[in-house]
């Protein structure tokens, strides 16, 4: 807006600024009011969402039990089952805390490998057009292949063990981060790059101070996609490639023991952990990043 005003004739500059200020002031007041009201309404919407989800679950349980004569786990039964598991009741030779911690460690190892590989590739391929033109089609093909399709390949390469699960997660997370990172690096304004070179910045400094911050909004979008995909592949891989523990292994084994309440408890824990990773880690990081860039644009 400042650039637009400065391009106007000098005699009209003050008049234009006054009109813009008059137009923006009521809007900002309305936004403040809406934000204040939003802080009051948001908890009500959250409570309504919980009531809707649990109520729908209960209705489905009643309908399935009445129609098929099969006892479908209800929210209350699952809550009691969760309470017992949290109290230390053994579940498939381990506690629920062991299954959760093992799954989180596997996910963290695979996701960090995919994230680091995707970031390195994005920065290098975004900087080198020749490398990008040769390798980018392969990365795009990897993005199109579902993570579960790599299970036979992982078993052939690593066998039925922990390494195969980690490799599946890394292979699923890598293309999402790589493609988003390359798009972010290519979107960096080259004027900033030339300004950095004029100030004596070398390749490493340009990567750290220009390309990485410029690509960060795109990278965060890729992280959101990679997180969900990697988390789903983790659970599915533990069902097939699992080594005797983990949430995915617990869900599939509960089928054989007919312990559907524990299976539903594990599904609820999987959903809660995935939602927590997104809401408590990615969302605040994305909000801070976007806010930082908005402040810089305004100044």
Give pLDDT tens digits for 195-219: 877 887 777 777 777 777 777 778 8
Q: What is the mean pLDDT of residues 113-142?
A: 88
Instruction: Indicate whether this model's pTM tops 0.75.
Output: no
| 3-state secondary structure at position 146 | coil
8 Å CB contact between 189 and 214: yes
Task: State mean pLDDT over 76-81.
Answer: 91
Class of residue 102 by CB neighbours under 10 A (exposed 0-12, middle 13-18, buried 19+):
buried
CA 151/CA 47 separation, integer angstroms: 40
Q: 91 - beta bridge partners?
A: 94
* Average pLDDT estimate for 227-232: 86
Is 136:125 a contact under the CB 8 Å cutoff?
A: yes
Those residues whose C-beta lies under 8 Å from the C-beta of residue 171, and which sit 6 or more positions away, are 114, 142, 147, 150, 154
Output the CA–CA distances (angstroms, integers) from residue 47 to 44, 50, 53, 249, 264, in the order listed: 5, 5, 10, 32, 22
Per-residue pLDDT at 76: 92
Averaged pLDDT, 62-75: 89
The predicted model gives 17-39 an average pLDDT of 43
Residue 11 confidence (pLDDT) = 42
Q: Name the pLDDT band for 56 (thresholds 50, 70, 90).
A: very high
Q: Which residues of 29-46 are buried (b: 16+ CB within 10 A; e: fewer)?
A: eeeeeeeeeeeeeeeeee
pLDDT greater than 60 at residue 259: yes
């Amino acid at each position: 807006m400042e650039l637009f005003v400065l391009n106007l004739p000098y005699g009209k500059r003050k008049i234009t600024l006054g009109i813009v200020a008059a137009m923006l002031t009521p809007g900002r007041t309305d936004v403040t009011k809406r934000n204040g009201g939003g802080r009051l309404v948001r908890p009500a919407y959250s409570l309504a969402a919980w009531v809707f989800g649990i109520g729908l679950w209960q209705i489905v349980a009643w309908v399935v039990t009445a129609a098929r004569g099969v006892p479908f786990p209800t929210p209350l039964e699952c809550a009691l089952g969760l309470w017992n598991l949290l109290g230390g009741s053994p579940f498939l030779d381990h506690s629920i805390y062991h299954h959760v911690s093992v799954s989180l460690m596997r996910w963290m190892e695979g996701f960090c490998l995919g994230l680091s590989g995707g970031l390195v590739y994005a920065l290098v391929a975004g900087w080198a057009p020749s490398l990008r033109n040769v390798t980018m089609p392969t990365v795009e093909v990897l993005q199109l292949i579902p993570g579960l399709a790599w299970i036979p390949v992982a078993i052939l390469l690593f066998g039925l063990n922990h390494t195969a699960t980690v490799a599946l997660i890394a292979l699923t997370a890598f293309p999402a981060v790589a493609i988003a990172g390359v798009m972010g690096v290519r979107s960096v304004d080259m004027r900033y790059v030339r300004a950095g070179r004029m100030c004596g910045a070398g390749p490493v400094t340009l990567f750290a101070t220009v390309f990485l911050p410029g690509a960060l909004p795109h990278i965060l979008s890729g992280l959101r996609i990679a997180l969900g995909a990697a988390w789903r592949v983790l659970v599915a891989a533990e069902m097939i490639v699992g080594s005797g523990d983990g949430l995915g292994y617990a869900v599939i084994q509960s089928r054989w023991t007919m312990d559907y309440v524990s299976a539903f408890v594990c599904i609820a824990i999987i959903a809660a952990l995935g939602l927590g990773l997104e809401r408590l880690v990615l969302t605040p990081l994305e909000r801070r990043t976007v806010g930082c860039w908005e402040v810089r644009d305004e100044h």
